[in-house]
Amino acid sequence: MTLAFKPYLREISLDPKAQIDYDRYPFSIPAVRELGVMTLHRDVTFFVGENGAGKSTVLEAIAVAMGLPAEGGNRNVYRQQQEVSPLHGYLKLVKGFRQPRASYFLRAESLFNVFSYLDEIKVGPGSGAGLHRRSHGEAFMDLMLNFREDGLYLLDEPEAALSPSRQLAALTVMHQLVQEGSQFIIATHSPILLSYPNAKILCFDESGIMEVAYADTEHYAVTRDFLNNHERRLQQLLVDEDAD
Ligand SMILES: Nc1ncnc2c1ncn2[C@@H]1O[C@H](COP(=O)(O)OP(=O)(O)OP(=O)(O)O)[C@@H](O)[C@H]1O
Ligand SMILES: [Mg+2]
């Protein structure tokens, strides 16, 4: 085990010296405005919260500030940068004393492009394996199985690619990597992934960012309630117009 080197990224905050216009995107997002000092878990930090709460914006800014491409991928991906929020330029990062041996930013929307590119240049995790000829979930699992120890991995909604069984498998792979010295930061809506115990869950909402316990997340509560009462909940949700 090589746990002594973690975390690679300890803290992020808005640079107190920066001139910030809080009326404009991305600083107008409550979670960004109230970012304060975000302390990251040495193993896994989850970002949760409603759609539009700012999770991807913050994750992308961390990735770019760490030298990763905004489009996603590893440091070998040199592509035309897509439109990126200016947040990365305003972040103060407190890093660990050692650099990760590998790093990767998975950006849900551009996975296909990055896989094609990595196939093309045959460099980096999963490259040259015909990733773009695999299904979304197969390619993602190939990629994750090629993640190296002592890495820093930033993943935006990895569950988008994964069946429930593969999400369980992803927990196993993530645990292995964590034990081998890797750190993850993951934006997710998956109650399965969120169950990972060596983790900190940060909830983004209108008031800012707050740490929550797994069982107190909306993901856990709503999924559990729905699965336990799905017939009743469906009756409440699906009201037929012609029903008297
Ligand atoms: N270029 C932009 N200009 C202005 N507003 C933007 C821009 N890009 C994103 N936003 C807004 O910023 C907010 C945060 O978006 P973000 O993608 O970070 O949310 P999220 O928490 O990742 O949501 P989801 O769970 O749906 O992925 C949203 O309200 C979005 O509409
Ligand atoms: Mg998002």
Query: 41-75 pLDDT, tens per residue?
Result: 999 999 999 999 999 999 999 999 999 988 887 87
Q: Whose CA is nearest to atom 28 of ligand 1?
A: 52
- Give how far Cα 77 sits from Cα of 70, 116, 139, 185, 200, Å: 10, 11, 17, 20, 29
Selected residue with higher pLDDT from 129 and 82: 82
- CB-count exposure of residue 159 (10 Å: 0-12, 13-18, 19+): buried
> How do beta strands 91-95 and 183-187 pair?
unpaired
Using CA atoms, how far apart are residues 12 and 28, in angstroms rounded to an integer?
Answer: 18
All structural domains of the chain, each given as residue ranges with its CATH number in brackets, are: 3-237 (3.40.50)
Distance 123 CA to ligand 2 centre (A): 27
Q: Indicate whether 30 pLDDT > 70.
A: yes
Q: What is the per-residue pLDDT across 161-212, written as a single tens digit (0 to 9) for each?
A: 899 999 999 999 999 999 999 999 999 999 999 999 999 999 999 999 999 9
Say if CB 41 and CB 5 are below 8 A apart. Answer: no
Asked if residue 55 has its Cβ within 6 Å of ligand 1, the reply is yes
Amino acid at 38: M
Asked if residue 59 has its Cβ within 6 Å of ligand 1, the reply is no
Question: Given the CA of residue 189, which atom of ligand 1 is nearest to it?
Answer: 25
Q: What is the per-residue pLDDT across 142-152, written as a single tens digit (0 to 9) for each?
A: 888 889 899 99
- CB-count exposure of residue 131 (10 Å: 0-12, 13-18, 19+): buried
Distance 55 CA to ligand 2 centre (A): 5
